[in-house]
Structure 1
Amino acid sequence: MGLLLLITLLSILSFASAEISDKIGINYGQLGNNLPSAYQSIELLQSMQAGRVKLYDANPEILKLLADTKLRVSIMIPNHEISNIALNQTAADEWVRNNVLPYFPSTAIRFLLVGNEVLSSQSDQDIVMWHDLVPAMRNVRKSLKDKNITDIKVSTALAMDVLQSTFPPSTGEFRSDIRDTVIQPMLRFLDRTKSFLFIDVYPYFPWSSNPSNISLDFALFKSNSSIIDHGNGLNYTNLLDQMLDSLIFAMGKLGYPDIRLVISETGWPNSGDIEEPGANILNAATYNRNLIQKMTTKPAIGTPARPGVVIPTFIFSLYNENQKTGQGTERHWGLLNENGTGIYEIDLTGKRSASEYAPLPAAQNNVPYKGEVWCVAARGADLQELSAALTSACNEGNGTCDALAPGNECYLPVSVTWHASYAFSSYWANYRTQGATCYFNGLAEETTRNPSKGACNFPSVRF
């Protein structure tokens, strides 16, 4: 009887150790039309010695391939399924039956995340989903429990915009529109089920939006100085710790100071648009290498508010993904190129010192760009697709394509590339303040060279 109890205790401790392992994880996104196969991707993850992988769905092919590997797996319920699962226990049971039971335990699913950054969207429909989030988490956990599955923790991935105050960390506080109605019951659920709070933390964004007041070295873990939070007396040597501790203090103010954290996404873009400062290979490699060193050091470093605590961490992302929309950085967070080769050398184990890496290309854009930028047809873009995009841009009105009418100043030369370039620049200039980007499904690119000719003046965006 004593031996059986010892074996049981060892099993529990083994699982707990796996839960808080310091092995680095990778986010495996699939928003690209030129990415390696799922089989090749799993091979790459293993060759890179990743300890974990996080998916943005429950892709059956990938989950089958992950069986009997050493990778610990996080899967996700897509946002659009949350409300139905919240309102219907049968729907939760069905999701678990279809997306967990066929693979577990051969595939080491350790976390089931209900949605991704659900609380970041502000549309009326999404606000309804806010209030369905925690009920959906409860229903999913009940489904797992009814199947005697206790090794899978249920959580959700949040972004830092759930906080209305982050600096200094001691002032950390959740947004008033979600604090009592969503966050409080969520923290109660995570605390009761001994689960983790998953948080997407990107020092790149606060730095790039305020590079004159935030040191780049501070964002890249290279600072030789510290910043004191006079609200708690703690010293901070990097921006990531500040961001994490602001969340920790916010949770403490709601009565939950001890809920464990997982960094569900972090990283640095290796490229981006002209006006996006600091998005380059040197900074991306520096950030991720230093991050890995910090998160794999033994004993664990933790943060100033939680020294010595392991924080499981997933780097975003495995690949550059060419079908992601938005600014150029959105498509350039990968550790690997679309063909599976490394964008820069990286050691996920943290055993390789900085001096052992080959030199990196010098950074050319660490200060914000100031000047004019035009949006033109990308080199090599398919003419048929360009023609369709041209029509779409011109159909938006607002004088976008008036200059392209026969006899007007930009009508000549009559070519799809010329007309599309003008339309893209004009559309971007007209609608950038409403969120338009120079992307057009990959058919456009930014340039600092004025494409105007003769009497035809291309509209531009000035930074």
Structure 2
Amino acid sequence: MENQEIPKMTLLFLSSFCVIAISRAVVSNRIGINYGQLGNNLPTPARSIELLRNMNTGRVKLYDADHEILNLLSGTDIDVAITVANDEISGIAASQHLADQWVYEHIIAHYPRTRIRFILVGNEVFSSISTPEDMQTARDLVRAIRRIKNTVKALGIRNIKIGTPLAMDMMETLTFPPSNGSFKPQIQQLMVPLLKYINGTKSFFFINVYPYITWVESQVWNQTAISLEFALLRPGDENYKDPQTGLVYTNLLDQMLDSVVYAMAKLGYDDVMLAIGETGWPHEGESGANRDNAGEYINNLVRKMSVVPSLGTPARPGVVIPTFIYSLYDENQKYGPATERQWGLLNPDGSPVYEVNMTIGL
């Protein structure tokens, strides 16, 4: 029940060990990878799934619900996140029948042989609310999530979590110090019902979080604001102490995650579980974008997020944070600056751009 009163210490315990209505597969420490297809030189889906399996990938996140890929994942031990497109949100929000249709077509056709564990409704919906159409989509988001959940629940499926990935541009303030983290005023009216529903269904708040972008921006505004080592999660002596909480941070990712934790708490939701929908480091492009840095960030990330027992963050020690790396390939048809197309782990021929050990912490 969404309004059930549970003591905070009990909620913290439950969120830390993830024992209520969540399968072990969902909360495992296995690292995931985003598999996008915005390229004209990418390997076939069959080859891509083979590569994911060879890399010991624990999870894969799709930006759609492609039947061919879902069929190819059937019988594997890879947990799968699929996505409802942004332009489908308002229709589903308005019609339980359309929600039923979507679930039957994209879930029931493949589940349970394909280990679908997450349904993500939209992608970064709150990042574009400047037009009436975009704002309507944002307002319809929770209703669409609820309708998808209704169908899944009616079918007796209990091990699929439903949420939506949001970008860090939802934040008004973040990072220094994390305890000052807050959401932009213009989206708080959208955020409250979303957090209420995610919390009530014991799902995850997915965020796309990029220390690289925050580090680059810090170099533009203040050359000494954030060191490269801190952004790369490099173990060392550097740390930052939050003056309000006394918590000590040894890397930028933890600061960014905890800024979201504190932002949620300011809206009355201090126990919502986090997941990382996207994070990575470009291997070519602007300052700091090279293969050495990308390889170091990804391997440090895998080490941090896959270690058992889980490290969590300073504000939430020991909590599992499901994590998806961005991305499997460079995608040469993506919009934006050149760096936007240089985040892949693999070249188009399937060879590694740099060496990654996906089981470093296990």
TM-score, scaled relative to structure 1: 0.71
Residue 116 of structure 2 corresponds to 109
Residues 21 and 159 in structure 2, CA contact (< 8 A), matched pair in contact too:
no
Residues 1:170 and 2:179 aligned together = yes
The unaligned stretches of length 5 or more in structure 1 are 1-11, 353-463
Residue 329 of structure 1 corresponds to 339
CA distance in 1 between partners of 2:37 and 2:53 (Å): 18
CA distance in 2 between partners of 1:116 and 1:46 (Å): 25
Residues 1:348 and 2:358 aligned together = yes
Residues 1:300 and 2:307 aligned together = no
Residues 1:264 and 2:277 aligned together = yes
Shift of 1:252: 1.0
Shift of 1:122: 3.0
Given candidates 230, 239, 242, the residue that maps to 1:229 is 242
Equivalence map 1:77-226=2 (5 Å): 77-124=84-131, 125-166=133-174, 167-179=176-188, 181-211=189-219, 212=223, 213-222=225-234, 223-226=236-239
Equivalence map 1:9-24=2 (5 Å): 16-24=23-31
Residues 1:277 and 2:290 aligned together = no
Shift of 1:191: 1.0
Shift of 1:183: 0.8
Equivalence map 1:18-57=2 (5 Å): 18-57=25-64
Equivalence map 1:355-370=2 (5 Å): none
CA distance in 1 between partners of 2:237 and 2:328 (Å): 30
Residues 129 and 138 in structure 2, CA contact (< 8 A), matched pair in contact too:
no
CA distance in 1 between partners of 2:24 and 2:112 (Å): 17
1:410-448 Cα deviation digits (max 9, x unpaired): xxxxxxxxxxxxxxxxxxxxxxxxxxxxxxxxxxxxxxx
Residue 438 of structure 1 corresponds to none
CA distance in 1 between partners of 2:190 and 2:355 (Å): 41
CA distance in 2 between partners of 1:186 and 1:51 (Å): 27
Give the number of the structure whose alpha-carbon radius of gyration is greater. 1
CA distance in 1 between partners of 2:204 and 2:121 (Å): 13
Residues 1:70 and 2:77 aligned together = yes
Residues 1:250 and 2:260 aligned together = no
Three-state SS of the structure 2 residue aligned to 1:18 is coil
CA distance in 2 between partners of 1:320 and 1:188 (Å): 36
1:340-398 Cα deviation digits (max 9, x unpaired): 1100111000159xxxxxxxxxxxxxxxxxxxxxxxxxxxxxxxxxxxxxxxxxxxxxx
Residues 271 and 281 in structure 1, CA contact (< 8 A), matched pair in contact too:
yes
Q: Are the structure 2 counterparts of residues 186 and 207 from structure 1 closer, same or farther at C-alpha, using a change threshold of 3 Å?
A: same
Q: Are the structure 2 counterparts of residues 184 and 54 from structure 1 closer, same or farther at C-alpha, using a change threshold of 3 Å?
A: same
Percent of paired sites with the same residue: 53
Shift of 1:325: 1.1
Shift of 1:19: 1.4
Residues 270 and 281 in structure 1, CA contact (< 8 A), matched pair in contact too:
yes
Residues 1:240 and 2:253 aligned together = yes
Residues 69 and 107 in structure 1, CA contact (< 8 A), matched pair in contact too:
yes
Shift of 1:162: 1.1
Shift of 1:64: 0.4
CA distance in 1 between partners of 2:100 and 2:25 (Å): 26
Three-state SS of the structure 2 residue aligned to 1:63 is helix
CA distance in 2 between partners of 1:153 and 1:326 (Å): 31
Residues 1:286 and 2:296 aligned together = yes
Three-state SS of the structure 1 residue aligned to 2:29 is coil
CA distance in 1 between partners of 2:104 and 2:23 (Å): 25
Residues 321 and 338 in structure 1, CA contact (< 8 A), matched pair in contact too:
no
Letter of the aligned partner of 1:182 in structure 2?
Answer: L
Three-state SS of the structure 2 residue aligned to 1:137 is helix
CA distance in 2 between partners of 1:120 and 1:103 (Å): 31
Three-state SS of the structure 1 residue aligned to 2:241 is strand
CA distance in 2 between partners of 1:132 and 1:110 (Å): 23
Q: Are the structure 2 counterparts of residues 121 and 51 from structure 1 closer, same or farther at C-alpha, using a change threshold of 3 Å?
A: same
